[in-house]
Chains A and B, each alone.
Chain A
C-alpha cells in the first residue's frame, strides 16, 4: 500500500550531452494529483515518456507502480495535447475511445458487446454522447479533448498522464476538461500526473507540484514550491510569485518586464530556451 505510484530516484535524463533534468528524486504517492510545471523545453514531456517506458534515463532509477517502466503498461492512461485532425478522417469519437481500450492488440478486432458497453460508459462519463458518432475531425477542440479523456479512462488506469491537455483550448473548455479529470481523481482515488504551462486551471485539484527549469527542479505542496524564493532559486534570477484573485502569476526579469498571462502560450516544445521563453505558471 505504501508503494508510491511513481518513484524517481536520482534520475537524470540526457539527450546526447544535454541534460534535460538531473538527479530527480520524487515520490508520487497513490491518489495524489501532481502538476508538472516549467517552461518549454524543460523536459516535462520527457518525464511522461520515461514513465511510459518510451525513453530511458541516463542515470538513476525509476519505478512505476512498483516496477520498472515498460511500454504499453495497461495501468497507465494517456491524454495528449488537443491536435487538429483531418476533417475527412474516417474516425468517430466512439472509435477513438475504442482504440484506447484495445487498439494496441494484434489482429483485426471484432465487435463485441462488453467492449462496446465499456466504450459507451466511458463516453457517457465525459458527457460526449451527443457527438460520439460524428467524424472526429469536425468536432471542436473541447469536444475532442472530452473524448480523449474517455479514451484514456476506458481502460480503467491506475495512473493518468496528461500532457498539456489544455493547450489550444479556451478558458471555458480548460475548466471543463480539468473538472473531468478532477472528478475522476476524486471518485477513484487514483493518481494523476498533469503536465501544464498554467497551474491555475488545475489549482483546485493539485496537491503537489513538480517545477522543472533548466535541468533543476523543485517539488512539494503548491504553497511551498510556488513562492518567489523557491522559483528565484530555480530560475537563477529574480522571480515574483503573485497571488491575484485566487490566481497565481509568475513574473520574472528573465521574461521581460511586467509579464502577465491570462492564457498559456503554446509554443512547440522543441525550443531549448528555458527561462527565456515568455511562459511560465501565471
Chain B
C-alpha cells in the first residue's frame, strides 16, 4: 500500500476513532505501567486481562457490549484480589486461584456461544480498528475517568510504591491505595486489551515502564518517557497495520520491544556512562555504587 492510500485511510471515521482511542489508551498504559513495574504486578495484570476475556465472553453470550463485559470482568477480579490479598506474599497465590477459576468460566462461555470464534480471536489478540464507534466512545470515557483517578492519587501512590514504610508513617493510606490502584489497573487493562488483546497485554502495561526505568532515575521523567513509549508503540502500530494489513498487536509489541532493547542495551548504558563521566569530572571521585 502506498502513502497516498494511507492518507486516504486516515480520512475514514473508524481509523480516526481508533487513533483517538489509541492515544487515550497509550497515555493510561504509560502511567499505569510505571506502577505495575515498581509494584511487581505483572502476574496480577495477566490475571486481570484473562478474566477480562471471561467477562467479554460472558457479555457476548448474553448479547451485551464485549467492552463492557471486559471491564466488568477486570473490575470484579480487581475487587476480589483486593479483598483477599493486599499483602504482597498472599497476592500471587490469590491471583493464581482467581485466575484459574475465571478462565474455567471463560471456557464455558466460549463453548456456549456459537459463532464466537472471530470475536474470541479479536479479544485475545486485539482489534482496535474493529471496535464499534459506540465502544470507542466508551473507551474514551473509561480512559478519562482512569486518568482523573490517576491524577488524584499519583503522588501518594508513588510514595506508597517506592517507600511504603515511611509513606505509612506519614499517614498515606497504603492499603486503601493498593485497592484503588487495582481498580485503576483493571480499567487500564480493559483499555489496553482493545489494542493488543488479552494475551499481549504486558506489551503495554509492563514494557513502557520497564523501558523508562532503563533511561532515567528521575521518577517524573520516567513517567513521561513511559507515556511517550506507549504512544509511539500504539500509534506506530496502528499506522503500520494500516499500511501492511498485518495485525496491530504484532506491530505494537514489536515497537515496544524494540524500545526496551534499545533502552536496555544501548541508550541506557550510554546515558549512565555519560552521567558517570560528568559526576567524576565534578567530584573527582563518584560515590555511586556499593
A83 to B172, CA, bound (A): 19
A245 to B48, CA, bound (A): 62
Inter-chain contact B162/A138, CB cutoff 8 Å: no
One digit per residue, 1 when the CB lies within 8 angstroms of any chain B CB and 0 when it does not, for chain A 59-93 equals 00000000000111100101010010000111110
One digit per residue, 1 when the CB lies within 8 angstroms of any chain A CB and 0 when it does not, for chain B 194-214 equals 000000000000000000111
Inter-chain contact A91/B217, CB cutoff 8 Å: yes
CB-CB contacts below 8 Å: B196-237 with A:
212-214, 216-219, 221-222
| Number of residue pairs A-B, CB distance < 8 angstroms | 105
A191 to B113, CA, bound (A): 69
Instruction: Specify which chain B residues have a CB less than 8 angstroms from the CB of A279 in the assembled complex.
Output: none
Task: Tell whether A138 pairs with B289 under 8 Å between CB atoms, given A90-B222, A92-B217, A99-B163.
Answer: yes
Inter-chain contact A88/B169, CB cutoff 8 Å: no
Instruction: Specify which chain A residues have a CB less than 8 angstroms from the CB of B158 in the assembled complex.
Output: 99, 103
A117 beta carbon closer than 8 Å to chain B: no
Inter-chain contact B287/A95, CB cutoff 8 Å: no
Binds A, one of B5-13, B89-97, B148-156, B240-248: B148-156
Inter-chain contact A89/B38, CB cutoff 8 Å: yes
Taking the closest CB of chain A, its distance from the CB of B166, in whole angstroms, is 6
B167 beta carbon closer than 8 Å to chain A: yes
Instruction: Specify which chain A residues have a CB less than 8 angstroms from the CB of B279 in the assembled complex.
Output: 134
Task: Tell whether A90 pairs with B217 under 8 Å between CB atoms, given A106-B155, A134-B279.
Answer: yes
A275 to B172, CA, bound (A): 35
- The DSSP consensus for interface residues of chain A is loop
One digit per residue, 1 when the CB lies within 8 angstroms of any chain A CB and 0 when it does not, for chain B 125-138 equals 00000000000000
Inter-chain contact B165/A90, CB cutoff 8 Å: no
Inter-chain contact B170/A134, CB cutoff 8 Å: no
One digit per residue, 1 when the CB lies within 8 angstroms of any chain A CB and 0 when it does not, for chain B 163-179 equals 10111111110000000
Inter-chain contact B156/A91, CB cutoff 8 Å: no
- Residue in chain A with minimal CB distance to B217: A135
Task: Tell whether A88 pairs with B155 under 8 Å between CB atoms, given A78-B169, A130-B283.
Answer: no
Instruction: Specify which chain B residues have a CB less than 8 angstroms from the CB of A143 in the assembled complex.
Output: 287
Instruction: Specify which chain B residues have a CB less than 8 angstroms from the CB of A139 in the assembled complex.
Output: 287-288
A109: contacting residue among B154, B167, B221, CB under 8 A: B154
Taking the closest CB of chain A, its distance from the CB of B157, in whole angstroms, is 10
A-B contact pairs, 30 of them (CB 8 A): A54-B168, A72-B170, A72-B171, A73-B171, A80-B166, A88-B213, A89-B213, A90-B218, A91-B217, A91-B219, A96-B162, A96-B163, A99-B159, A99-B162, A104-B156, A106-B156, A108-B151, A109-B154, A109-B155, A130-B287, A131-B288, A133-B217, A134-B217, A134-B279, A134-B286, A135-B288, A138-B288, A138-B289, A148-B166, A151-B166
